[in-house]
């Protein structure tokens, strides 16, 4: 099965501060070694595990990552591992492997958020293409999360009055209206508004609205 999502450019594995990480969970030692060798030859860092417990307990780096997970592990099912990852908030893309070609399991895996489903035996290029796609998507996710963290820190620097002005600005109020509502001079609102735009690192009202929505900042009810 090929990647079911649009795959952005995967870029060069060395373009990040740290090389992307690929995790492998499979109880077949020979397969773990083979996959690890293939992935390292492509420039990725690799950590391989015989069980999901070992993987879940491993301290993971904050770099673009993906998981290659066997559907049928000793004494556990890959779908249960997928469910546990979702429960603990571990959101890296999952590439399932199976030697059984189980269509029902494939559907469940995809509904659970799996990126791809590879049937053994698979070719090296097929695996590398799937990994490249998964890492590109995770790189985008990390970028969004880091941008949101930056916005949260910026929002935290706003004074209570600046936050109040921001909610009225994103509601579409004009400076004159805001000044009247807050019982201050219009020039004061202009100063606060300029500070909000500067601290939030935006130049236009639509950009400020988008950041407010991402942060969960709601305009006042009219």
What local confidence, expressed as pLDDT, does residue 123 receive? 92
C-alpha distances (whole Å) from 123 to each of 4, 18, 59, 183 are: 18, 27, 30, 70
Instruction: Tell me the pLDDT tens digit for each residue of 67-91.
Output: 999 888 877 888 888 889 889 888 8
- Nearest alpha-carbon partner for 142 in 93, 95, 94, 87: 93
> Which parts of the chain register pLDDT below 70?
1-18, 100-114, 222
What local confidence, expressed as pLDDT, does residue 78 receive? 83
What local confidence, expressed as pLDDT, does residue 2 receive? 45
Name every residue whose Cβ is closer than 8 Å to that of residue 210 and which is 6 or more positions away in sequence: none
Instruction: Tell me the pLDDT tens digit for each residue of 127-136.
Output: 999 999 999 9
What local confidence, expressed as pLDDT, does residue 116 receive? 77
pTM of the model: 0.72
All structural domains of the chain, each given as residue ranges with its CATH number in brackets, are 13-145 (3.40.50.2300), 157-215 (1.10.10.10)
- Nearest alpha-carbon partner for 134 in 18, 15, 21, 19: 21
What local confidence, expressed as pLDDT, does residue 15 receive? 42
Phi, psi torsion values for 206, nearest 5 degrees: -55, -35
Percent of the chain surpassing pLDDT 70: 85
C-alpha distances (whole Å) from 67 to each of 55, 93, 98, 164, 216 are: 10, 6, 14, 44, 31
What local confidence, expressed as pLDDT, does residue 100 receive? 65
What local confidence, expressed as pLDDT, does residue 181 receive? 93
66 touches 23 (CB < 8 A): yes
**Rounded Cα gap, residues 11 and 132, in angstroms:** 8
What local confidence, expressed as pLDDT, does residue 46 receive? 96
């Amino acid at each position: 099965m090929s990647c079911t999502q649009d795959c952005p450019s995967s870029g060069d594995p060395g373009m990040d501060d740290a090389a992307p990480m690929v995790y492998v969970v499979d109880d077949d030692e020979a397969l773990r070694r083979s996959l690890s060798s293939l992935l390292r030859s492509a420039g990725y860092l690799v950590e391989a595990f015989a069980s999901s417990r070992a993987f879940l307990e491993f301290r993971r780096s904050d770099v673009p990552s993906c998981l290659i997970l066997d559907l049928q592990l000793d004494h556990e099912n890959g779908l249960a591992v997928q469910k546990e990852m979702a429960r603990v908030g571990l959101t890296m893309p999952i590439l399932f492997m199976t030697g059984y070609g189980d269509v029902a399991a494939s559907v469940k895996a995809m509904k659970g958020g799996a990126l791809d489903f590879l049937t053994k035996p698979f070719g090296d290029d097929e695996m590398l293409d799937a990994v490249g796609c998964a890492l590109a998507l995770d790189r985008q996710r990390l970028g969004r999360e880091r941008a949101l963290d930056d916005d949260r820190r910026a929002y935290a620097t706003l004074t209570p009055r600046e936050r109040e002005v921001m909610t009225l600005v994103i509601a579409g109020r004009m400076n004159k209206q805001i000044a009247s509502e807050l019982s201050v001079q219009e020039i004061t609102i202009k100063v606060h508004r300029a500070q909000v735009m500067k601290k939030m690192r935006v130049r236009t009202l639509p950009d400020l609205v988008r950041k407010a929505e991402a942060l969960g900042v709601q305009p006042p009810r009219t």
